[in-house]
Structure 1
Amino acid sequence: MSDSVRLAHRIVLAGDVGGTNTTLALVGVNGTSAAQARFQLLDRTVLKSQQLSGIGQAIEGARNSLDAELLQRIDACCLCAAGPISNNRCTLTNLQWQIDGGEVAAELAVPTTLINDFSGICYGIPILFRQAPQQFTAIPHSDGSTPAGAGSVITVVGAGTGLGVGYLTTLADGNVTAHPSEGGHSDFAPFDDQTMALRAFVAGQHQGVPDAECFLSGPGIANLFDFLVQHETWQQSAARQRILARPRAERPEMIAANAAEDPLCSATMELFVRIYAKFSSSATLHFLADGGLFLAGGIAAKNQRLFLQQHRFMRYFEQNYRANIERLLHRVPVHIVGDYTVSLYGAAYAAVRQDQNKPTSEEQLS
């Protein structure tokens, strides 16, 4: 056992429970203040959520695979769950699970807090940005500048299986508070003739009004691809045939993987980036994010080239008909988050902060 592990001030169990995977990790915490502590990922296990009956079986799996000596040292637990939190309970959006923080606390014999999965990402970003800045990629503005954040509000937008939106505020004592939202389900706002036609197309495929997640997510990529297939003329290609032959859930990753060679896939991903930029610009203005915008989620992390090339993302992010708003957006630093474990650091932070009797935003609202 390394000195850093042996000398850890405390160890917490951090978890991220999603529709695909459930990850449980042991995180070492050095320091008594959450705002100044250093967090270290010591051990983790990744389980397939669909193969589990519930969080109890996940905890049992963690007991069988995580370091037993470290596991005995945990003094708190925090789980990020993909669903709304109320009274320390969560009914997951993409799993037939209910998680009760009180029941988990009784099982582990340590205080347990539940937070929204996107809150976990928000809490984790300042920790990783401080400890591992190399895990972030700055997107330069159209003039080549990469401004430093000058304020206390950060916006986080993350497109992956779904679309997450949240913001983070820094308090006078250096602690941060994550504010969850359902911004990913806000209305989609077309911004040119193509996106107006796109909205009409997607609306025809869904009952009701399509939200932003219908365009900015893995399933959203499939929607954009279908729209371009039906509304523009493309030469037949082997990539297109392979994609259309696969189940719909597998297509987004294939579309992104073929974007460098196949014109239809390239056009799909370029349209996706433009929509991502306009939506992120609006979110930045909603929260007046003078501290910066962070793009989380696997799509941006795996396709950074598409965001950076020809200032594709930034040209649309900066657009506004008012010159003073364009100047404001030019001052906002924008980064892509490259570390998928960010939510585990955020869960560990929330566990420590809870012990300091500073409730998370979910608890304040419940």
Structure 2
Amino acid sequence: MVPAALSLVADIGGTNTRVALAHGAEVQVDSVRRYRNAEFDGIGSVIARYLGDSSQNHTFITGVCVAMAGPVHDGVGTLTNLDWRIDKAVLAEALSAERVAVLNDLQAQGHAIGHIAATDLAEVLPQPEVAATAAKLVIGLGTGFNACPVFDTAAGRFVPPSEAGHVSLPTSIAELHPMLSKLSDSRGYPSVEEVLSGRGVSQLHAALHGEVIDPADILSRIGDGEAQACDTGALFVKVLGDVAGNLVLSHLPFGGVFLVGGVTRAFAPYLDQFGFVEAFRSKGRFSTFMEQFGVSVVSDDYAALTGCASHLSRG
């Protein structure tokens, strides 16, 4: 009996890469493996290790899709926070696959929308009833920051790439003004990612309190109710709400906003406490207009892999 055709999907983050096999749009959860990027010289060696570790017959892998944390152009991408180059043509040659794609990681998250279990969606703001084709928006906070719209059209799903994390921080938040020069990675241009990311949490805390500590420690202190950490958390959430609201006005995602990524999940329990909704909707005369947009936090850690598989399955 000939085994069913398989796809190989990979999600390359700033620190780790996850690789898995998928049948159609469904990722085989028991096939997921995680690898530390520092131990490899590129995605090719990661995939080679994965194939060596797996007992699956790889002859029937007919599609490959890689999601990466960085800009992609014409099937070629370079990771923003890692010195790897991802090339669609090289992947096709290495695995002899018929269908090969390289996506920005937020594009992959966009392709996953609609394939995520309800149990992996935590409502922040209720989603009004809209047409299934209404535009959606995915916003991701992890090693970096990015966002991309999701459009369902008669020709299929379209998820355009974006590098939204590298636009400038909003000037509407007065608390940020005196600390912009203290954001050490800004190189004179304080971008959204310098605050809304893992390292951004640490940078924000250092700018506010002069203490450089790990973001996980800051989250732990927030959980303990420490005043300085809570100040950092409150400003972080205010910036997130403001930036998310700006992106909503740019794309009008009446089908909902989906917050993804490890940093998002870490702050999810504090969004209400630190006023996310107020910051999100605070748009002057358009504040009432903002009530039309639902917001959810995605807790599915394999969403990017699912998005890769879904993208390949749509042909």
Q: Same fold, TM exceeding 0.5?
A: yes
Deviation of the 1:38 alpha carbon: 5.4
Contact 1:296–1:336 (Cα < 8 Å) also in 2 = yes
Equivalent residue number for residue 259 of structure 1 = 222
Query: Aligned pair in 2 of structure 1 residues 148, 259: CA closer, same or farther (>3 Å)?
Result: farther
Contact 2:71–2:162 (Cα < 8 Å) also in 1 = no
Q: Deviations over 1:249-301 (max 9, x none)?
A: x6111101210221111111111111100000000110111111111111121
Q: Deviations over 1:197-242 (max 9, x none)?
A: 233543x874322111111111211121112215xxxxxxxxxxxx
Equivalent residue number for residue 61 of structure 1 = 49
Aligned pairs for 1:154-173 (under 5 A) are 154-172=136-154
Aligned length: 312
Structure 1 or 2, whichever has the larger Rg, is 1
Equivalent residue number for residue 122 of structure 1 = 110
Partners of 1:179 and 1:306 in 2: CA distance? 30
Whether 1:221 aligns to 2:201 is yes
- With the length of structure 1 as denominator, give the TM-score of the two structures: 0.79
- Choose from 5, 10, 15 the match for 2:10: 15
Whether 1:97 aligns to 2:84 is yes
Query: Aligned pair in 2 of structure 1 residues 201, 99: CA closer, same or farther (>3 Å)?
Result: closer
Deviation of the 1:66 alpha carbon: 2.3
User: Which segment is superposed worse, 81-90 or 56-65?
Assistant: 81-90
Q: Which runs of 5+ in 1 are unaligned?
A: 1-5, 30-36, 231-243, 357-366
Q: State the one-letter code of the partner of 1:321.
A: G
Q: Deviations over 1:300-321 (max 9, x none)?
A: 21222101337x2111111121
Contact 1:27–1:42 (Cα < 8 Å) also in 2 = no
User: Which segment is superposed worse, 89-98 or 55-64?
Assistant: 89-98
Q: Identity across aligned pairs (percent)?
A: 26
Whether 1:335 aligns to 2:296 is yes
Equivalent residue number for residue 139 of structure 1 = 124
- Choose from 315, 321, 343 the match for 2:278: 315
Partners of 2:67 and 2:29 in 1: CA distance? 16
Contact 2:27–2:305 (Cα < 8 Å) also in 1 = no
Contact 1:156–1:166 (Cα < 8 Å) also in 2 = yes
Q: Which runs of 5+ in 2 are unaligned?
A: none
Aligned pairs for 1:190-201 (under 5 A) are 190-201=171-182
Equivalent residue number for residue 178 of structure 1 = 159
Alpha-carbon RMSD across the aligned residues, in angstroms, is 2.3
- With the length of structure 2 as denominator, give the TM-score of the two structures: 0.91
Contact 1:147–1:333 (Cα < 8 Å) also in 2 = yes
Equivalent residue number for residue 359 of structure 1 = none
